[in-house]
Amino acid sequence: MTATTGSRAAEHEGRGPGSVRPGGVLSAMCLALALVTASMSALNLALPELAVDLSASTTSLTWIVDGYAVALSGLVLPMGALGDRLGRRAVLVAGAVVFGAAALAASDASGTTALIAWRAVMGFGAAMIMPGTLSTITAVLPPDQRPKGVAVWSGCAAAGVVVGMLVSGALLEWFSWRAIFVAGAAAALGAAAAALLLAPETKDAHRRRFDIAGAVCTALAPGALVYALIEGNDGGWGRARVVAGLAVAVLAAVAQVLLGLRTAHPLLDPRLFRIPGFRAGAVTIAVQFMAVFGFYFVGLQYLQLILGYSPLKSALALVPVALVVVPTSQTTPHLVDRLGVRTVMISGLLLLGSGLVALSRLDAGSGYLAFLGGLVLAGFGIGTTGAVGASAITGSLSRDQQGVASAMNDVTREVGAAVGVALMGSVFGSHYRSALPDVSRLPAVAADAVRDSPAGGLYVAERAGPEGAVLASAVKGAFMAGMSAALSTVAVVLAVAVCCLVRVPKRSPRPE
């Protein structure tokens, strides 16, 4: 992104300097950010209901969750650049309108295809909302308050995920999954109003040519990769469309780098990755969100399908994450000052990976306490890595480059989330099907339901008479096999990321 939000480059319109209240700006931007992140997680609680109500397979469920994340990750950079040109608050408010309208349409969807499409439009609206949140905070807050503001922003991003699940869990106690989208539309209206009332308009004072080629590449690369991951594990990696998806993802990424090196003002300058702190922060945030959102995809189904929790009880079961993440993210800047960036980054990823490994060793009879132990351990890692990753990126660049820092925070989070859901959903689905016993003796419709999703399998088992208990046990065993494989896969990715961070300087040099 070519954004600059420093005092020399940003224009604050519509308010005098004395009328801007940093606390109000921080509250408004965190509310908008929470809307975006809450919508990434809220639907995970409804997956069992969607599997039965819309006859959705695991692949369809993955797309329903990931359609939003793919659109958000691919469009967040272009929409951020648009906000730099037209005004960040204006684009944020327009995005909230798009988000709310798409959410209302999704609440009336009658099939998986329509629901996936409207979720993608919601992701487009979220891509208009998200870039302006951090760049507005870093532009408005005084320099001495910026690290704390970034830490609050990071904590709200993580807390918004849990709040979204709590709200959706409560709604699912009395209403259907459609109520989640209606609530999302109402929240979008509130976020737009808060931005208009509390935040100033900021934009880049220097008009630059929009990087159209870079925008196309940044949209294609994550979308094609996610498509290949989902379809490859579902139907085989050798199919032409899967190979084509991988090829498009690689070519788009390479083109992004080559064109970025030749463009005067690219959306994201590849040269920035030569800065150790910037590069390390990007890796840390990407793998953290890959792990977190991939976990939510399978972990919430574990609580409902294996432990038998209601949606609300499942959401409450994850509250300890928020209780750990928020204070941890607040103390992380002090840990960085004492221990250095490298030590805190690596420690955070190791904590997160250890939590996932502990969760991967659960079985159908483990219960909640064992689940909670792994969850809390992962929570410490989430709070640490989110704050230190964001601070490493913003701290590696000058004040006039904070628009770029905001863009990188956004895109790495969303790409990581999209790839994490696709990777864990695909690994989970393939191992679940492989671990199932032979169900060919069941009626064809029932056998397909069992193979398509664990929720469908348990639905069939409830109506299978005396043999239902055996089938339910087999479905739960297959579910645990898929969950273990998925969590173990992401734990390996985290281990690779730790190895990449070993050579990062202990303390990132401050920019001039």
Nearest to 128 by CA among 77, 66, 64: 77
Q: Is the Cα torsion angle 456, 462, 466, 469 positive or negative in sign?
A: positive
Residue-level pLDDT at 2: 44
Least confident of 104-108, 135-139, 401-405, 492-496: 401-405
329-346: average pLDDT: 78
How would residue 102 be classed by pLDDT, with cut points 50, 70 and 90? very high
Identify which has the larger pLDDT, 307 or 207: 307
Least confident of 106-110, 368-372, 419-423: 419-423
Residue-level pLDDT at 511: 46
Nearest to 318 by CA among 249, 393, 371: 371
Residue-level pLDDT at 11: 47
Q: Is the pLDDT of residue 292 over 90?
A: no
Per-residue three-class SS string for 12-52: EECCCHHHCCHHHHHHHHHHHHHHHHHHHHHHHHHHHHHHH
Are the CB atoms for 36 and 289 separated by under 8 Å?
A: no
Q: Is the pLDDT of residue 432 over 70?
A: yes
pLDDT digits (tens, 9 = 90+) for 473-483: 888 999 999 99
Identify which has the larger pLDDT, 299 or 502: 299
Q: Which residues lie closer than 8 Å to 512 by C-beta, 6 or more apart?
A: 398
327-350: average pLDDT: 80
How would residue 371 be classed by pLDDT, with cut points 50, 70 and 90? very high
Q: Is the pLDDT of residue 148 over 80?
A: no
Q: Is the pLDDT of residue 361 over 70?
A: yes
R_g (Cα) of the chain, nearest Å? 22
Q: Is the pLDDT of residue 3 over 70?
A: no
Identify which has the larger pLDDT, 92 or 404: 92
Q: Is the pLDDT of residue 7 over 60?
A: no
Tell me, what amino acid is at 405?
Answer: A
Q: What percent of the chain has pLDDT over 70?
A: 88
Identify which has the larger pLDDT, 387 or 258: 258
Distance CA 413, CA 418 (A): 9
Nearest to 2 by CA among 405, 286, 395, 509: 405
Distance CA 311, CA 43 (A): 11
- DSSP state string for 279-329: HHHHHHHHHHHHHHHHHHHHHHHIIIIIS---HHHHHHTTHHHHHHHHHHH
Residue-level pLDDT at 145: 73
Residue-level pLDDT at 120: 93
Residue-level pLDDT at 10: 45
> Helix 402-435 vs helix 131-140: angle between axes, to the nearest 10 degrees?
150
Residue-level pLDDT at 6: 41
- What the block records as the tokens of 292 is 């977190």
Are the CB atoms for 2 and 211 separated by under 8 Å?
A: yes
Least confident of 37-46, 106-115, 130-139: 130-139
Distance CA 418, CA 176 (A): 25
48-57: average pLDDT: 85
How would residue 245 be classed by pLDDT, with cut points 50, 70 and 90? confident
Q: Is the pLDDT of residue 299 over 70?
A: yes
Q: Is the pLDDT of residue 30 over 80?
A: yes
Q: Write down the domain spans for the chain.
A: 10-211+263-501, 212-262
Least confident of 268-272, 302-306, 350-354, 508-512: 508-512
Fold of the domain spanning 10-211+263-501: Growth Hormone; Chain: A; (1.20.1250)
103-131 burial: b if 16+ Cβ within 10 Å, else e: bbbbbebeebeebbbbbbbbbbbbbbbbb
How would residue 400 be classed by pLDDT, with cut points 50, 70 and 90? low
Residue-level pLDDT at 356: 92
Q: Is the pLDDT of residue 181 over 90?
A: yes
How would residue 398 be classed by pLDDT, with cut points 50, 70 and 90? low
Q: Is the pLDDT of residue 415 over 50?
A: yes
Residue-level pLDDT at 205: 66
Are the CB atoms for 95 and 72 separated by under 8 Å?
A: no
Which phi and psi (to 5°) does residue 12 adopt? -105, 115
458-466: average pLDDT: 81
Identify which has the larger pLDDT, 396 or 311: 311
pLDDT digits (tens, 9 = 90+) for 120-146: 999 999 999 988 887 788 777 777 777
Residue-level pLDDT at 302: 92
Q: Would you call 453 helix, strand, or coil by DSSP? A: coil
- What the block records as the tokens of 53 is 């109500």
Residue-level pLDDT at 98: 95
Taking the alpha carbons at both ends of the chain, their separation in whole angstroms is 20
pLDDT digits (tens, 9 = 90+) for 194-244: 988 888 787 766 667 777 887 888 888 888 888 888 877 666 667 788 888
Identify which has the larger pLDDT, 509 or 435: 435
Q: Is the pLDDT of residue 118 over 90?
A: yes
Are the CB atoms for 269 and 16 separated by under 8 Å?
A: no
305-323 burial: b if 16+ Cβ within 10 Å, else e: bbeebebbebbbbbeebbe
Identify which has the larger pLDDT, 144 or 53: 53
Identify which has the larger pLDDT, 153 or 62: 62
